[in-house]
Amino acid sequence: MSRRVILHVGAPKTGTTYVQDRLTLNAATLARHGVHFPSRNRLVDASRFHFRAALDLLGQDWGGDPGHAEGSWDAMVRRVRRASGTAIISHEILAPAPKAAIAKAMADLKGPEIHIVYAVRDPARQLPAAWQESIKQGGRWTFSGFLDRVEKGKPWFFHAMDLPRVLASWGAHLPPENVHVVTVPHQRDERLWQRYRQAFGIEESWAPEDSTQVNSSLGIAETQLIRQLNRRVERGARRSTAYDQLIREMLAQEHLVHRRSPPVRLPPDRYDWSHEQAELWIDWLKGSGVDVIGDVEDLRPVPPDPDVRWRNPDQVTAKPLLAAALSALQAMTDEAATRTPPEMQLSSRVRTGVERLRGK
């Protein structure tokens, strides 16, 4: 059986959460067909292992105690080397990797045939989603400030979604046919998974269990609430595991996502820039010779509906913001009620000891 390593390097907000979870859920079935999604052990979720491996390769340390990712890339490489057939490494933070990190990845994985998979979404949908994700990760900037910086090519998200830059870097020493670009359809449906499946070389029957994991978007009031909360929390705390669990996962991704305030949409006066970017990407793809899975027309932004009023996420009125805040307070109060304070735990242990003594 020929050996391949597939590096799925992003981009963020292109269905990566769903794809990684589906690969995890079907890991055993896929392995029987020679497709491996490595995990560190049964105690560490495969997606978390891939995240830590990517952090280690990039020399970064997000969302955990200092050094929590150290050694994860080498552990990933060992598992890939032991795998026969195809091994998939997947995390979207790899997209804007510097040349030194890419060179290390290519050297460490040398031997099997290396393929790159990169998914791309039209800028008009990608930018609002990217801003929301940055807020979930602790960001404090306004939507307009974020867009200004994107147009200047500054934020991490711009480098992660800059298709020509990402593929020129990751595909620098690979034949074009080893670089696979998945276009994200305008409507969320099964087509996206089918395109990823084709890029990975997976038959439909090899990954039958579907995933319910999606990184859903927040409305304008909920996003503004998290942004305002981030402004009141110290920077270091916003990178902590506790913040991730309480604010990003429990509050933003589990509770507030079910509210129905107006969605974050690109301002009408930013569509010209998004169209220019899309045209650059499409022209690059057509001249690159890389394998495009999907339709390049998916990358053209759909003009805004003139009958739908655009709502400014930076100017949310007090009433919807208060409603979102009360909803968040209720969720956090419910969460706090399930957590027994340490002093109560001690009293409980003391009571248990006393009861045992009495029983004697």
Spatial contact of 31 and 83, defined as CB atoms under 8 Å apart: no
More confident residue, 12 or 258: 12
More confident residue, 349 or 156: 156
Domain with CATH 3.40.50.300 in the chain: 4-216+267-299
pLDDT band at 341 (very low <50, low <70, confident <90, very high): low
More confident residue, 337 or 265: 265
Read off the pLDDT of residues 187-197 as tens digits, 9 standing for 90 and up.
888 999 999 99
Of 102-116, 165-179, 250-264, 310-324, the range with the lowest mean pLDDT is: 250-264
Q: What's the chain's average pLDDT?
A: 90
Summarize the confidence of residues 39-56 as an average pLDDT. Answer: 88
User: What local confidence, expressed as pLDDT, does residue 345 receive?
Assistant: 47
Distance CA 179, CA 290 (A): 5
pLDDT band at 354 (very low <50, low <70, confident <90, very high): very low
Read off the pLDDT of residues 301-331 as tens digits, 9 standing for 90 and up.
999 888 999 999 999 999 999 999 999 999 8
Summarize the confidence of residues 341-352 as an average pLDDT. Answer: 50
Summarize the confidence of residues 240-266 as an average pLDDT. Answer: 84
Of 216-225, 254-263, 306-315, the range with the lowest mean pLDDT is: 254-263
pLDDT band at 352 (very low <50, low <70, confident <90, very high): low
User: What local confidence, expressed as pLDDT, does residue 325 receive?
Assistant: 93
User: What local confidence, expressed as pLDDT, does residue 344 receive?
Assistant: 45
Cut 0.85: pTM above it = yes
- Amino acid found at 8: H
- Amino acid found at 1: M
Of 23-37, 38-52, 130-144, the range with the lowest mean pLDDT is: 38-52
Spatial contact of 76 and 53, defined as CB atoms under 8 Å apart: yes
* pLDDT for 72 beyond 90: yes
Find the helix packing angle between 271-288 and 123-136, rounded to 10°. 110
User: What local confidence, expressed as pLDDT, does residue 1 receive?
Assistant: 47
Region of 59 (left: φ > 0; alpha: ψ -120 to 50; beta: rest) is left
User: What local confidence, expressed as pLDDT, does residue 359 receive?
Assistant: 54
User: What local confidence, expressed as pLDDT, does residue 310 receive?
Assistant: 95
* pLDDT for 81 beyond 70: yes
Residue 282: φ, ψ to 5°: -65, -45
Strands 113-120 and 4-8: parallel
User: In the CATH scheme, what is the homologous superfamily, with its name and number, of domain 4-216+267-299?
Assistant: P-loop containing nucleotide triphosphate hydrolases (3.40.50.300)
* pLDDT for 176 beyond 70: yes
More confident residue, 285 or 355: 285
Spatial contact of 301 and 149, defined as CB atoms under 8 Å apart: no
Find the helix packing angle between 46-58 and 99-108, rounded to 10°. 120
HEC string of the chain equals CCCEEEEECCCCCCCHHHHHHHHHHCHHHHHHCCEECCCCECCECHHHHHHHHHHHHHCCCCCCCCCCCCCHHHHHHHHHHHCCCEEEEECHHHCCCCHHHHHHHHHHCCCCEEEEEEEECCHHHHHHHHHHHHHHCCCCCCHHHHHHHHHCCCCHHHHHHCHHHHHHHHCCCCCHHHEEEEECCCCCCCHHHHHHHHHHCCCHHHCCCCCCCCCCCCEHHHHHHHHHHHHCCCCHHHHCHHHHHHHHHHHHHHHHHHCCCCECCCCHHHHHHHHHHHHHHHHHHHHHCCEEECCHHHHCCCCCCCCCCCCCCCCCCHHHHHHHHHHHHHHHHHHHHCCCCHHHHHHHHHHHHHHHHHHC
* pLDDT for 349 beyond 90: no
